[in-house]
Amino acid sequence: MNGKVYLVGAGPGDPDLLTLKALRLLRAADVVLHDALVTDEILRLVRPHARLVDVGKRVGQHHLTQNEINRKMIEAAQWANVVVRLKGGDPLIFGRAAEEMAALREVGVDFEIVPGITAAIAAAAQARVPLTDRDGASSVTFVTAHAADGRYPVSFESIAASGATVVLYMPGGSYGEIGRQLSVGRVPPETPCLVVSNACRENQQRLWTDVRSLPSITPPEAPALLIIGKVARCRDAPSATAAVPLNSERVQALDQR
């Protein structure tokens, strides 16, 4: 096998947020196997005449299994010099990179990881929210709402005790269950929360709320993530102060102007 596979992070969807190395590889690629979350604006940067292969997994529409995606990467490396496996966000953050690296190692295909801006960083930057803060938020925890074994993948009680900011990827429509888990985990009901949908895209939406109000919100369009912690308070809205619980509807209206 003469080809090399690059697991490339496409970032949150804005082409301006691609790394220079990612852009160079897109312009040199013979084959690009891309996820569903990669935007058309980024795909238009791919070298003309390169083969584009949609291997994206959408909710309820997993037309390719992970093993089939692995096989397509390996087959492409048999004839192509530069194979780009293009992933939304960063390949190493909930991107199944471990499974793909294992498959490539098993058959001896050379590969390289090219990091991208993960959704948590992009969403926080757009909302001007610091994920860490010297005033108590000394750590941040990235969590997925979807564990492979079906269990809820995190103990919110231990996280709440640590004071860490929590970023929950792919909450889907389970905000009621998330709110319940946070309450069981003794996270204070007034703890600020921020829901960001389609971070850094033209249809981006932000919803400022708190743990108490999570079960009553209308789930935004996917992809979305949820930031939980005192750093997530809306500093730019007139009523949003550390001492006043946030009214999600009013702050949402201010944020979407």
Are 82 and 128 within one domain? no
Are 12 and 89 within one domain? yes
185-204 average pLDDT score:
92
Are 123 and 244 within one domain? yes
For the chain, how many structural domains are there in total? Answer: 2
| First-to-last C-alpha distance (Å) of the chain | 53
161-183 average pLDDT score:
87
Are 66 and 159 within one domain? no
Nearest Cα to Cα of residue 233 among 199, 207, 194: 194
Whether the CA torsion 10, 16, 22, 27 is positive or negative: it is positive
> Residue 172: pLDDT above 90?
no
Q: Domain boundary residue among 114, 142, 176?
A: 114
> Residue 201: pLDDT above 50?
yes
Are 41 and 69 within one domain? yes
Residue 188 is encoded by which pair of tokens?
């204070």
Are 97 and 197 within one domain? no
Are 135 and 102 within one domain? no
Are 172 and 98 within one domain? no
The pLDDT value recorded for residue 60 is 54
Q: Domain boundary residue among 83, 114, 145?
A: 114
Point out the catalytic residue in the list 4, 21, 57, 72.
57
CATH of the domain at 31: 3.40.1010.10
Are 88 and 180 within one domain? no
Helix (H, G, I), strand (E, B) or coil at 56: coil
Residue 140 is encoded by which pair of tokens?
């941040």
> Residue 249: pLDDT above 90?
no
**pTM of the complete model:** 0.85
Is 57 a catalytic site residue? Answer: yes
Point out the catalytic residue in the list 35, 87, 90, 210.
35
Q: Domain boundary residue among 86, 114, 142?
A: 114
| Other C-beta atoms lying within 10 Å of the C-beta of residue 67 | 10
Domain that holds residue 41: 4-114
CATH of the domain at 221: 3.30.950.10
Are 135 and 238 within one domain? yes
Are 48 and 148 within one domain? no
| Residue predicted with more confidence, 233 or 149 | 233
122-142 average pLDDT score:
91
25-35 average pLDDT score:
98
Is 35 a catalytic site residue? Answer: yes
Q: Band the pLDDT of 248: cuts 50, 70, 90.
A: very low
Q: What angle do CA 173, 176, 180 make, to 5 degrees?
A: 140
Are 98 and 190 within one domain? no
> Residue 241: pLDDT above 90?
no
Q: How far apart are CA 75 and CA 68, in angstroms?
A: 10
